[in-house]
Structure 1
Amino acid sequence: FCCVSSLFQSPLVQAIFSRNAEEVTFLLNHNEDVNSLDQVQSTPLHAAAYLGDVHTMDLLITSGANVNAKDQCLLTPLHRAAASRNEKAVELLLKHRAEVNTQDKYLHTPLHMAAAKWAIGCAQALIPHVCGLDVADRSGRTPLHHAAHSGHEELVNLLLSKGANVSAKDKKERQAIHWAAYIGHVEVVKLLVSHGADVMCKDKCGYTPLHAAAASGQLDVVKYLLRLVVETDEPNIFGNTALHMACHTGQDAVATELVNCGANINQPNYNGSTPLHLSAASSSGVLCLELLINNGADVNVQNKEGKSPLHMASMHGRFTGSQILIQNGSAEIDCADMFGNTPLHVAARYGQELLVSTLLTNGADKTSILILLTHPKMFPLHKVLLLVVYLPSTGDDINFLDDHGRTCLHAAASGGNVDCLNLLLNSAAAELDVKDHLGRSPLHYAAANGNSQCTISLVRAGAEVNELDLTGCSPLHYAAASHTFCGRIKPRQDYNVVLCVFRCLDFLLDSGANPTLKNSNGYSAVHYAAAYGNKQHLELLLEISFNCLEEVESNIPVSPLHLAAYYGHREALRLLCETLVSLDVRDIEGRTALHLAAQRGFAPCVEVLLKHQASYTLKEHKRKWTALHAAAAEGQMDCLLLLVNGEQSADIIDSPDTQGQTALMLAALGRHTDCVHILLEKGAKADAADKKGFTALHRAAMLGSEDCVSALLEHGASALCRDSQGRTPLHLVASRGHTELLRTLLKAAMKADPLDSILDYRGYTPAHWAAHHGREGCLHILLENNLFSNQEGNLFTALHCALFNKDLSQLAERCKLNRMFMCMCECRTPLHAAAYSGNVAGLQLVLAQGAEVNAVDHCRCSPVMVAAACGQTMAVEFLLHKAKPDLTLVDVNNNTALHLACIKGHEMCALLILGEISDSSLINATNSALQMPLHIAARKGLATVVQVLLSRGAAVMAVDEEGHTPALACAPNKNVADCLALILSTMKPFPPREAGASTASHFNPILKNCGIAATCGSSSNLCHA
């Protein structure tokens, strides 16, 4: 409830949270809807039950409140009362026949809530009325499961004494004893055993309570179970024993206890892995590893994949573990698994450089490691590591691959060294068909670099001309883009080089290269030639592809025409315009080639397209922009001029897009003054508005573009045109602080009646906007022009705005500050605004005019509460010392000023307030969440505040609605607090566990709303360890 802002709560709910019974009675007597619903479908009775306010609940029920109303989570008031541990509220609801067996969306009954929340009184009240004690929730858990998980011994005993089934199983076949053992509630475990719980019961994965306790390091529970002579080597469905679990999670104290009690240290699981394998792989298993080796574990035992513990340590990079295995355990360094991999292979494969170094230092055999150099998953860094080890003993290998899978033949083809290439081709050792990691052959490299001689040599040597790389590109694709691709051909470069590049393409075509082949993106060689502007290549390819021009014109994924226009290749575009049938083909977004050329500013391309009758009235799909919109938005003046001079310009000059924006608006938005002038001169409507009522003048004014504003005003744009919220350009200029523009617009606005147009639809004047945004220069100009003389409009006056932003210099002289003016706004007064911004001068000014220091806003916050919540230290100090505010006032959530200062972490504000508190009851005052200032200060880490509160007698054992004391409130969230409480209660009579211990993931604690997890992670991956 507290997370729902009071702004969205009904007055009745606000009164309930304020514990104002008189207000509740008043509202009920005035026909306030007693069953009204808030955002989460909760009723006022839900709120009262949550608070445990029995008197208010009685008033609501008497007035017709539905005791079985359900919120969006299907929680009833009875659920709320039980979860909040409000015994009297539960009894009242039961008295009025509340449904006791009702279930929420997780199928929790009120008894589940009580069991999870330690609410024994509520449970005692509920049990006589329930249909059964073993009703399961959605996860199959009974109230006993929840009570056992929570560790409330008395509640567990109550349920058992009333007949709860101690062997009830949830959907994963876990019993209450599993949860108690996993969490470490040893007394609850003992109680369950005394009532017949089976200590060897198994869940669906074969985990016994001993497995659970061992996995989470619950040493006391383990000791207790071992004293009951349970089977220590009992396997789960993966063959893992309790010792496996302890070693996997690094629970060395538990592992020691199990070994001392005779656990088999060499017992394999169903994958053949022993506890030593799991500890070697574990990030926290070093101590367990030492324990096992010292107790005679077999360090060379192999699992079903042939992996030894050293393999596991090498795979996971456990350096310390590998040292222990080698030095203390005499592990066999070159032991091979079933795939022939030694620990060195595994370490290199997974990039464990430190392990590689360690293994080599300790004598690992490196002669068998060559195979890893060609491993598809071998990264360059790993290969370098291996090359340093291996290659010094090898000879030169012309087929050796570099980090990208390229051979010497690739390098020769790419560099254009035809003599070197021929020498390699004539060598019997060179392999012509080797491809690099991207599937490219030496022919791809030769074609990409436009080297005709290398291309000819490779083709004559047998290279496949239509060979595709991994992207589906043939050598012809690369040749079509060659001179731009390799960056060699530039303006005025040697004609012989250009000719060589052209011959490369020509030779490939003569040798059977298919020009219609498309790569994985749908691009053919024609697309590449167009994209790179190779006119000669494009001409040759179009000639060869003449019989399949329809395929060339296809817009899937984009046509060659689009590519030539997008990259600004005029000559290639001209060739395509003369060859292709349609120039208005669209891409997937509905853009034509003209649209792209105009957007990119390629005026020569726009000219070519317009000359060949390309349509400029077509709109793209998403925003419905024409080519004119695109040119105006990007400020492409030359392209825009070509478009507006066309015969059809009248059809597009004021054409709106999906937002109602014209080209003029987009030009103004981009501050493209030249484009604005051209469009206005060509007849664009200056006052055209988009769907939100914004004109081009609104846009130019907001951006502070003086030139665009002047151009628009010269062409008759109205300075008082309104948007959909009634804002004029004057409002926007005032808010942005553009003083010169404001003067310009004011001159234009004087021609109209300011009384008709100076207020927006919320009653704000430009002066409001200037004051709110702290634009003193604009405020001065507006006051000089007497635009603030009319104070009609919104009750949140310009004075509020000025106080909020500490701008008093103008308003102090202009406004007549009287008491009525101070209270013009029903909720937040000017004093609140000044407190919010920490404006001490404003506070002095407003208080001098008789402002009420204890006035409250809609959240029932006084000015000092607002200042404390905002951390305005000087404002808090001034109000406390000069105005003596009432510090007992509370907001809608029962927070005092001290609560609010602590909630926001404002330590100095809290200390100042504490210095003025003489009433000791305020020290221990609780809010709606039953939190005292000490709870909140502890949570926020306000050490000095906590120290002062303790010295002033703050109650250290008081609990909030979650049952947390101030000490537990230090935890970052409820789950951590619950765990901390459990750990502290467990640690009291027993020595602390070692710091390295961690918990397993198999039993996942804390269920949402109830304290036990709805789903629990599986440890099934252990079987693959």
Structure 2
Amino acid sequence: MGILSITDQHPLVQAIFNRNLEEVRALLSQKDNVNVLDQERRSPLHAAAYLGDIPVIELLIQSGANVNAKDSVWLTPLHRAVASRNERAVSLLVKHSADVNARDKHWQTPLHIAAANRANKCAETLIPLVKNVNLADRTGRTALHHAVLSGNLEMVVMLLNKRAHHSICDKKERHPIIYASFLGLLEIAKLLISRGADAMSKDKKGYTPLHAAASSGQIDVVKYLLKLGVEIDEPNAFGNTALHIACYMGQDAVANELVNYGSNVNQPNEKGFTPLHFAAVSTNGALCLELLVNNGADVNFQSKEGKSPLHMAAIHGRFTRSQILIQNGGEIDCADKYGNTPLHVAARYGHELLISTLMTNGADTARRGVHGMFPLHLAVLFGFSDCCRKLLSSGQLYSIVSSLSNEHVLSAGFDINTPDNLGRTCLHAAASGGNVECLNLLSSSGADLKRRDKFGRTPLHYAAANGSYQCIVSLVTAGASINEADYKGCTPLHYAAASDTYRSCLEYLLDNNADPSLRDKQGYSAVHYAAAYGNRQNLELLLEMSFNCLEDVESTVPVSPLHLAAFNGHCDALKTLAETLVNLDVCDHKGRTALYLATERGSTDCVSVLTSHGASPLIKDRRKKWTPLHAAAASGNIDCLHLLIDCSERPDITDVMDAHGQTPLMLAVMNGHVDCAHLLLEKGATVDAGDKKGRTTLHRASVTGCEDCVGALMEHDAFVLCRDFKGRTPIHFAAACGHATLVHVYLQAALSTDPLDAVVDYNGYTPMHWAAYNGHEDCLELLLEHNPFAYLEGNPFTPLHCAVINSQDGTADLLVEALGAKIVNSRDAKGRTPLHAAAFADNVNGLQLLLHHQAEVNATDLSGRTPLMMSAENGRTAAVEFLLFHMKADLTVMDINKNTALHLACSKGHEKCALLLLGETQDLGLINATNSMLQMPLHIAARNGLASVVQALLTRGATVLAVDEEGHTPALACAPNKDVADCLALILSTMKPFPPKDAILPFSFNLLKNCSIAAKTALPNGGSCPYTKDRHGSIAMDGCYSE
């Protein structure tokens, strides 16, 4: 909110600020708008309230001013009057019904403002009128919080006396006591604690009042809290005690008080840092460090990463503190978990004076740190030449040779050419760091220029990669090999070409006979690297200085520079290449052009460069046969798409098809890119073009549910009744996917297009079938309103069959309520009712619903089977149990092959279903009933090895001597095939004791009669085919939807 000039304000506001009552009265008498607003939506009453001008306020209110008008930040005149601490204005506004509970955009009421602005008299007026003195603003602060923050003891007393809660915390979970402690408001802190405030309360990060007071150096509050007996070493969420905080903030007086009260000087926090670590690293922690050391702090305590206080002092070069630590026993060569000593740290951060101190005190310059590096590695890597000089002067390897034995009797320091764990010497590090002074110091000290690291790289490789021109010059002058390749085949020229520094490095290498035709092991030259990293100047230089580089530009093995530049979005490099090449339509191994890659990556500038230089937007890739247009449409890159369309003169460019017959419009809609769809339609894309399966763009929009895409297509007269290769329309797809809004749009369009079209697919299914099957109640409701008799059209396997077979209780209920008994007992082509379908699906809820609406529990289909028989054959235990126990379904019904439900359950090995059926009957007629093959349930159960069922049948009196049409008893039915059964029959016929004569004769006769039959007759079908295979397209809707 800026400061506005009074001269730009309305005359009424100017008169108010001039405190000219007569002018105000005159302007109001001239019918000036008393509620006129300025740029910040402030009214004249806001101005008068701010000034506390009682006569003007009264005059404005009498003239109709809105006493609760809110400005742009929702401040009312009452807020303004309170902020100005004008109690008379506050009283007057309250008298005229000003809202004392009004909130501004920060959710602050006038009481919050009064507390924050020390407006005690105003608060006295407001408190009796407010609903709740503990109301919080957006930050969670109450008026008490604001009173404490303003340091107003009188206000705090007033609020506490009016039942303000000291225990309420703000959104940082801070109680008023924490703010009082932080600000050093001792009297307020005492008052709050005397009223019951918790001296150990914690905020969201675990800070207590003691932490708060310690952080800001409020020694009096600290002393008071300690006298109260608060826990002196209570950690916050990070494990820091008040002593940690005091040392970190450099509050030496507080630290002294805490130590004197017994705070643990060696208590580690969550990362293992003690207060001494904090004192060593903090800006103002010198006195704290001395205090801690003198009071027994462990100078060698290591954090979880192994850092000692001396490591921490080395980070910022705390020279004096380092000396104190060393003098008090600090370990010079203490290593952290990376192996770094304080000398490594000092070298890394360039603290020469501290390096001298450490080396004077015996620090090991040959100690290996992170990745096995010496301190010298780190000093030169980060370009600290003074540190490098210091380490070289005192730390290099030297030895004393005995004059008598000519042997080394004493050696110390380090070898300058010793590599780290990755084979890099200090010279590699210096070349990478780019400080030529460090590099020259090393070279003059005997560093090996040709030493390779584990990747085969010399110092020159590192200098080239980092664009260190002076280092390159120094190394080449000293004799470094300029065309030496690393283990990947890259020369320094490759790295220089990739570097984003000015071309001087590359130019120098080329002038000194670097070979630009050399390729790495993947076949890439310096030109490829320059293109891949987008270095136009390097690319131009290479093309200027070598004819061989032109061949590299045209080469597509392994990938052309043009592709690399396009893929990485380097339009400047791409422009250089485009101006050099004749053919921009070369393809990579996947058949993609540079234009395709640029489009796929969404690089509009690259697409613009390529199209302006004649690249074709119609080249297709090898796999999907996508053009750049397909890639742009699929990824929603509208700017790229626009450029591609505009660069071609072909009128049918927008209708180019991929391997599946998809156009760019189809891909744009399928991925929900509405703006791309609009552009393609405007540019003439065929709205009803179909792919190889006959599906149009509208079919795709129906699946995704993108209403904006559908709207765009409908505006261009998309045909809603177009059919795919299975006869399905966009209405089918929308209904199947549950897009009710689209279904409504399509139905309206279909009425005007062809009101007689029944919208049935080639399997006879309507959109109503699809909606019911997938449980989309809103779609189904629309379809029922549109044509309630649509279920009579198409496949007799009705929508209710679809709903119950897929356990969609909601759509099933909707259909039953809408259509009643007409659909409940409807039959499909096999004569099966919805109850059969529910039984097949083991859908107990569906069974309950249908039977509640008078479904016939014993209705038979064309094969003579009831729902109970259907569920028994398919092992639907829950359905069997419900139909048996709750609906008393008839067990004696037989199908056309004379199978009962018990026969069917046994025939498919559904033991539990068979036992449930047997549990409901003792009828010998049912137990010994034979089917058309003369088989009893005992025959079938025995053949399938259902031991518990066999036992149950036998205990209920099932006969064991009955024979089927093959002459086999139930015992013989156990045989794995007929030949085995015949053999078993022969054996049994000769066994003694024989049964009575009148029983054995027919029995033996039957056995012997059948044992020598040569032609084996096929068994009659004892049961129908599985439900899902009875007829094409009846129940197998899963297959349709899986597409």
- For normalisation by structure 2, the TM-score amounts to 0.50
Other-structure match for 1:510: 95
Shift of 1:523: 3.0
Alignment partner of 2:495 out of 900, 922, 938: 900
Partner of 1:523: 108
Tell me which of 31, 48, 65 is aligned to 1:446: 48
Which amino acid in structure 1 is aligned with residue 229 of structure 2? Q
Point out the more displaced range, 606-615 or 624-633.
606-615
Other-structure match for 2:125:
540
Provide the rounded CA distance (Å) in 1 between the counterparts of 2:123 and 2:240: 39
Select the residue among 349, 355, 378 that pairs with 1:801: 378
Structure 1 pair 576–929 and aligned structure 2 pair: CA distance change class (3 A):
farther
CA pair 555-872 structure 1, distance change in 2 beyond 3 A: closer
Following superposition, the deviation at residue 852 of structure 1 comes to: 5.1
Q: Which residue of 1 aligns with 2:250?
A: 671
- Compare 692-701 and 811-820 and name the one that shifted more: 811-820
Deviations 1:69-101 (A, max 9, x none): xxxxxxxxxxxxxxxxxxxxxxxxxxxxxxxxx
Specify the alignment match of 2:336 in structure 1: 760
1:632 maps onto 2:210 in alignment: no
Match of 2:167 in 1: 584
Matched, 1:734 2:330: no
CA distance in 1, matches of 2:69, 2:480: 89
* C-alpha contact 1:930 1:959 (8 A) present in aligned 2: no
| Separation in 1, partners of 2:68, 2:477 | 89
The separation in 2 between residues aligned to 1:967 and 1:577, in whole angstroms, is 71
User: In the TM superposition, what is the alpha-carbon distance from 1:1000 to its structure 2 partner?
Assistant: 7.2
User: Using the alignment, how far apart are the partners of 1:555 and 1:842 within structure 2?
Assistant: 57
For the Cα contact (< 8 Å) 1:597–1:606, is it kept in 2?
yes
Q: Find out whether 1:836 has 2:432 as its counterpart.
A: yes
Q: 1:538 to 1:888 in 2, by over 3 A?
A: same
For structure 2, list consecutive stretches of 5 or more residues without a partner in the other structure: 399-413, 575-593, 599-604, 617-637, 646-655, 683-711, 716-1043
Determine if contact 2:7/2:14 at 8 Å carries over to the other structure: no
Structure 2: how far apart are the matches of 1:503 and 1:432? 21
* Displacement of 1:935: 6.3
Deviation at 1:759, TM superposition (A): 1.6
Say if 2:311 is the partner of 1:722.
no
Give the structure 2 partner of residue 194 of structure 1: none
Match of 2:536 in 1: 940
Partner of 2:572: 971
Q: Verify the 8 A CA contact 1:515 1:541 in the aligned structure 2.
A: yes
* Deviation of 1:796 (Å): 1.4
Distance in structure 1 (CA, Å) of the matches to 2:183 and 2:189: 10
Superimposed CA distance per residue, residues 316-355 of structure 1 (whole angstroms, 9 cap, x where no aligned partner): xxxxxxxxxxxxxxxxxxxxxxxxxxxxxxxxxxxxxxxx
Residue in structure 1 matching 2:507, options 905, 908, 911: 911
Shift of 1:767: 1.6
1:570 to 140, 150, 153: 153
* Range moving further from structure 2, 678-687 or 932-941: 932-941
**1:661 aligned onto 2:262:** no
Q: What is the Cα deviation at residue 560 of structure 1?
A: 0.8
- For this pair of structures, how many residues does the alignment match? 583
Q: For 1:264-279, what aligned pairs fall within 5 Å after superposition?
A: none
Question: Aligned partners of 1:824 and 1:502: how far apart in 2?
Answer: 77
2:476 matched to 1:880? yes
Cα distance in 2, alignment partners of residues 841 and 420 from structure 1? 79
Please give the per-residue CA displacement for 1:890-910, whole angstroms capped at 9, x wherever unaligned. Answer: 353x42101111211353333
CA distance in 2, matches of 1:578, 1:408: 46
Change (3 A) 1:914 1:954: farther
Answer yes or no: is the 8 Å Cα contact 1:585–1:592 preserved in 2: yes
Query: What letter is aligned with 1:901?
Result: A
Q: Distance in 2 between matches of 1:967 and 1:827?
A: 33
Following superposition, the deviation at residue 409 of structure 1 comes to: 3.1
Match among 858, 868, 881 for residue 464 of structure 2:
868
Residues 78-227 of structure 1: pairs in structure 2 closer than 5 A: none
RMSD: 4.2
The one-character-per-residue Cα deviations of 1:698-722 (angstroms, maximum 9, x if unpaired) are: 1221235322211222222222111
1 CA distance for matches of 2:282 and 2:46? 52
Q: How far did 1:521 drift?
A: 4.3
**Contact 2:607–2:643, Cα closer than 8 Å, also in 1:** no
Q: In the alignment, is residue 685 of structure 1 matched against residue 264 of structure 2?
A: yes
CA distance in 2, matches of 1:769, 1:815: 19
Please state how far the C-alpha of 1:458 moved relative to its aligned partner: 2.8
Aligned partner of residue 432 in structure 1, secondary structure:
coil
Measured after TM superposition, the shift of residue 762 of structure 1 is 1.9
CA contact (8 A) 2:12 2:24 kept: yes
Contact 1:1001 1:1018 in 2 (8 A): no
Counterpart pick for 1:412 among 15, 19, 25: 15
Decide which of 511, 517, 528 is 1:923's aligned counterpart: 517
What amino acid maps onto 2:32 in structure 1? A
Deviations 1:911-935 (A, max 9, x none): 33334437x5x53435647243486
Paired amino acid for 1:507? L
| Preserved contact between residue 184 and residue 218 of structure 2 (Cα < 8 Å) | yes
* AA at the equivalent of 2:349: H
Deviations 1:865-908, CA, capped at 9 Å, x for gaps: 1122223334323333434436231353x421011112113533
- 1:432 aligned to which of 17, 20, 34: 34
Return 767-776 or 801-810, whichever deviates more: 801-810
Q: Displacement of 1:411 after TM fit?
A: 3.4
Residues 438, 470 of structure 1: 8 Å contact kept:
yes
Structure 1 residues 838 and 443, CA gap change in structure 2 (3 angstroms): closer
Distance 1:411 1:609, change over 3 A: farther
Deviations 1:795-842 (A, max 9, x none): 312232344343133444333167696246442122312322356676
State whether residues 555 and 586 of structure 1, in contact with CA within 8 Å, keep that contact through their aligned partners in structure 2. Answer: no
Q: What is the one-letter code of the residue matched to 2:560? A: G
What displacement does 1:728 show?
A: 0.7
- In 2: Cα distance, 1:562 partner to 1:967 partner: 60
> Which residue of structure 1 aligns with residue 901 of structure 2?
none
Question: Does the 8 Å contact 2:50/2:81 carry over to 1?
Answer: yes
Separation in 2, partners of 1:955, 1:443: 81
Change (3 A) 1:732 1:948: farther
Identity of aligned residues (%): 24
Deviations 1:185-208 (A, max 9, x none): xxxxxxxxxxxxxxxxxxxxxxxx
Q: Mapping of 1:484-499 within 5 angstroms?
A: none
Change (3 A) 1:955 1:935: farther
- Please state how far the C-alpha of 1:730 moved relative to its aligned partner: 0.9
Bigger Cα displacement from structure 2, 908-917 vs 961-970: 961-970
Match of 1:643 among 203, 216, 225: 225
In structure 2, what is the Cα distance between the partners aligned to 1:588 and 1:967? 51
1:784/1:677 CA distance change after superposition, 3 Å:
same
Q: Which residue of 2 aligns with 1:560?
A: 143
Letter of the 2:19 partner, please give it. G
1:708 is aligned to 2:708: no
1:626 deviates by 1.6
The whole-number CA distance in structure 1 between the counterparts of 2:229 and 2:523 is 70
Shift of residue 475, structure 1, vs aligned partner = 3.2
8 Å Cα contact 1:632/1:666 also seen in 2: yes
CA shift digits 1:953-1001 (9 cap, x unpaired): 76465435543469998734663566545533479xxxxxxxxxxx977
Work out whether residues 956 and 967 of structure 1, in 8 Å CA contact, stay in contact via their aligned partners in 2: no
Question: What is the CA–CA distance in structure 1 between the aligned matches of 2:517 and 2:175, rounded to whole Å?
Answer: 73
* Counterpart residue number, 1:456: 58
- Match of residue 598 from structure 1: 181
CA contact under 8 A between 2:107 and 2:138: conserved in structure 1? Answer: no
1:633-683 CA deviation, whole Å, 9 max, x = no partner? 3344444444334x132x2x3221111122222222222333322332333
Which letter maps to 1:643? L
State the match for 1:283 in structure 2.
none
TM-score by length of 1: 0.51
